[in-house]
Amino acid sequence: MFQRLTQSTRVWLLILCSIVVGQSILSFQAQAANSIDGIRVWPAPENTRIVFDVKNKPDYKYFTLSNPNRLVIDFKGTKNTVSLKKLAANDPRVKRFRTSTSKKTGTTRLVLELEKSYQLTVFPLSPAGQYGNRLVIDLYDKDRAKKVASQPKEDHHDIIIGIDAGHGGEDPGSIGNKGTYEKRVTLAIAKKLQKLINNEKGMKAVMIRSGDYYVNLNRRTSLARERNVDFLVSIHADAFRTPGPHGASVWVVTKKRAESELAKWLLKREEKSELLGGGGGVIKSTADSHLALALADMSKEHSLGVSFGVANKVVRELKKITKMHKKTPQNGNFAVLKSSDIPSILVETGFISNHKEEKNLTWGKHQQRLAAAIHTGIKDYFMAYPLAGSYFASVGYKKHKVRSGESLSVLAQRYNTSVSKIKTVNNLKNNALRIGQTLKIPRAG
């Protein structure tokens, strides 16, 4: 029949068909102008974070269903390019990812089948760093906020050291020229430090982040507090826009920041008294605001003093095994150091943006040296100034093996004691030392 039509009629029909097809293509493209190009699942002890990488800003709606528990997300004008089959394989909260049919044309509906009901947050993120547009979903365990009651510590108790590996999960931290992620470096060093501390009689390590997942900065200090941490060390790797800067540094909170946080706590001292250490009970019950302020201020000053003391010891040890960007402890406004009731330091282990240090920071032997320096610095401080009732307080001295270049005066200064005390406990008749000699070092009084 098409053959019988005139030439002009056939031309017009072809034009009409092309217009209809073109409009259909344009209509389809308009309906699916966006796309889901990646889905990442980050399981953590308290929550699971799910990140949808989308081509453009997401246009979405979501709702939950029960019996069984499900989270349904509708992405308007979006097509999914990601396989859903194995996304939930290693997650304890999401049983399955699947698609479903939405009543609205051009909408992709994704369904997350859940183990149970969770506290939910959903929010978009604009492009930043290596990432484009994203939609983030956090599934929080509902019992995660339960407070751990502080237990009175027994005699000869361990000193509990909280180890915070910076960044994690969706947050890679700084990225080196060769693609090294800061989050992986910090976790590797943290795990080595954990092992050293747990092998030290009288000390116990608590990991704030033990895997590749993100922990909110405020939650990091909350976790440290819930786990009765005596001291917190946060491990990071520095970066700069050029590869020149290099070296490690140790940071403590600025006094201004500590005072700012303290002021906030004092406004709500009834509910926040547990943050203020040994004086908390009095701070909570007293009607005397001046007394409450004085006790809180003492807690803050003690915490800052311990922080600086440990920072100095760690700097001393780091100088032996790596270049230093800053040769003395520095003041910084870091969120993870903000709790004035928990003494804490932040260690920048080197510049991941420096080519040589990026290589060193991925080298297991160098990571071990960094961990050993941090461990020795913390241990030496608490040996010199042990916590009341701790195992360290029950030990009258520590052992030290003499190394090349060390003298009695050097050791006395390092351990905050005197030459005469070292000579007395070791029955030394003169100041001569030999390399490899083991000395008893009296605890600072």
State the CATH number of the domain containing residue 77: 2.60.40.3500
Asked, for residue 146, whether it belongs to a domain, the answer is no
Whole domain around residue 189: which residue ranges? 159-391
What pLDDT, on a 0 to 100 scale, did the predictor assign at position 283? 40
Examine the domain organization and report whether 163 and 103 are in the same domain: no
Dihedral, CA of residue 257, residue 261, residue 263 and residue 268, to nearest 10: 180
Examine the domain organization and report whether 329 and 373 are in the same domain: yes
Examine the domain organization and report whether 268 and 375 are in the same domain: yes
Asked, for residue 148, whether it belongs to a domain, the answer is no
Asked, for residue 89, whether it belongs to a domain, the answer is yes
Domain boundary among 105, 140, 175: 140
What pLDDT, on a 0 to 100 scale, did the predictor assign at position 273? 35
What pLDDT, on a 0 to 100 scale, did the predictor assign at position 290? 46
- The tokens for 80 are 């999914």
Cα distance between residue 362 and residue 409, in whole Å: 37
Domain boundary among 140, 168, 190: 140
- What total of structural domains would you count in the chain? 3
Examine the domain organization and report whether 57 and 188 are in the same domain: no
Cα distance between residue 366 and residue 27, in whole Å: 58
Asked, for residue 374, whether it belongs to a domain, the answer is yes
Asked, for residue 1, whether it belongs to a domain, the answer is no
Asked, for residue 24, whether it belongs to a domain, the answer is no
Domain boundary among 140, 169, 197: 140
Examine the domain organization and report whether 417 and 370 are in the same domain: no
Asked, for residue 118, whether it belongs to a domain, the answer is yes
Examine the domain organization and report whether 251 and 332 are in the same domain: yes
Tens-of-pLDDT digits for all 445 residues of the chain?
445 556 655 555 555 555 444 444 444 444 568 999 999 999 999 999 999 999 999 999 999 999 999 999 999 999 999 999 999 998 999 999 999 998 888 899 999 999 999 999 998 888 876 788 999 999 999 876 554 545 556 678 899 999 999 989 888 888 889 999 999 999 999 999 999 999 999 999 999 999 999 888 888 888 888 899 999 999 999 888 888 889 999 988 766 655 555 445 444 444 433 333 333 444 444 445 544 444 444 455 667 888 889 999 999 999 999 999 988 888 766 666 666 678 888 899 999 999 999 999 999 999 999 999 999 999 988 887 888 888 888 876 778 899 998 999 999 888 888 888 888 778 888 999 999 998 888 766 5
Asked, for residue 26, whether it belongs to a domain, the answer is no
CB 79 within 8 A of CB 21: no
Examine the domain organization and report whether 118 and 234 are in the same domain: no
Phi first, then psi: what are they for 299, rounded to 5°?
-60, -45
Examine the domain organization and report whether 381 and 400 are in the same domain: no
Examine the domain organization and report whether 45 and 105 are in the same domain: yes
Examine the domain organization and report whether 38 and 164 are in the same domain: no
Cα distance between residue 409 and residue 367, in whole Å: 31
| pTM for the model | 0.70
Examine the domain organization and report whether 426 and 312 are in the same domain: no
Cα diameter, the chain: 124
Examine the domain organization and report whether 202 and 64 are in the same domain: no
